[in-house]
Amino acid sequence: MSMKELLESLKSNGYKITEQRKSIIQVLTSYNNKFISVETLFNESKKIYSKTNMSTVYRNLEILENLNLIHKILTKEGISLYQLISTTTHHHHIICKRCGKTEVIDFCPISSFEKLSKNKNFTLTDHKFELYGYCFNCENLKDS
């Protein structure tokens, strides 16, 4: 989703367009389908609009998440990562544990489980499928 569309979405939900919001959204869109940490988002946003404050970043991430415009994951190390929700196809990721390089996997194993979960009387709402490892570069640099 483009910056313009995201701002429209906020506006149509009654939110005002502030410089801070614009800077946050600009950074998010520039990251496309990649995950970004709160700290990086904060630092990058400040480069665009220097007054952006950390509380503002958190508050806006919450708004965007509630509007289903961004997606949050927490790494095992406790780092919160956000990414824009893709408007194209549903997909998952391979994530490099060293450099964070993220590649899209255009396949989702969920369909096989819709039946299974019915058998278990489970209503599925979310799922997570992520592959972790090392990209070619990092694999070769790993021990250096």
Partner DNA sequence: TTATATGCAAAAGATTTGCAATATA
Partner DNA sequence: TATATTGCAAATCTTTTGCATATAA
Instruction: Name the residues that contact DNA, by CB under 7 A.
Output: 11, 14-21, 38-39, 51-56, 58-60, 62, 78-80
Closest approach, Cβ 120 to its own copies, in A, equals 6
Instruction: Report d(CA 82, CA 137) in Å as an integer.
Output: 24
Among 14, 87, 136, 144, binds its own copies (CB under 8 A): 136
* 29 lies in the site for its own copies, by CB under 8 A: no
Structure tokens at 56: 């503002």
Does position 55 bind its own copies by CB under 8 A?
Answer: no
Instruction: Output Rg (C-alpha) for the chain, integer angstroms.
Output: 17
83 makes contact, choosing from DNA, its own copies, none, with CB < 5 to 8 Å by partner type, with: none
- Cβ within 8 Å of residue 35, ≥6 positions away: 73, 81, 82, 83, 95, 100, 102
